[in-house]
Structure 1
């Protein structure tokens, strides 16, 4: 009898999942990230958009803070990044911040953080 997708482990002992399964796991985890100002999760608030997982299992998504002047944009972005990192099967992630007054600076900083 052949091994199923869930029975195959990679070299780190992680279960190999396909991009759709990883997408679902990430969405479930992000539903636990709560915006401190509203008490609502970042998925319900639609602060995370266009979440994609490619064939190399790299995750990309757009983070749109609740307002252009959101005082919690930076800590919330960092919490989102950490939450996505908890999914061991991913090969990396890219976040793009939009509609925020300091989006350019924050995107540069987050890119350096993720690549460094």
Structure 2
């Protein structure tokens, strides 16, 4: 009788463990946050990037030339990110680069 109870407990534990494992695997396959109706990480990053680019473009409305260093300090973003944003805005035709290299480079509205 005791052997049967031990066997029964083992079967229940095995089935329960298998079901739990399948549930964990299924949860990992769901996109992050979309299961809860929230914005995904990639969507949030895209939104923040566009917001930063719009802020840069807004800063240029005063017709004051901006440098990468200015944007880096004002938005609190790395220099490489500010440079990339300016490159993207330039490709979109919103800004133009004045100067070629070094400290003389600044950007203004196109």
- TM-score > 0.5, shorter chain as reference: no
TM-score in terms of structure 2 length: 0.30
Q: Which has the higher helix share?
A: 2
Question: Larger strand proportion, structure 1 or 2?
Answer: 1
Q: Which has the higher contact order (CA 8 A, sep 6+)?
A: 1
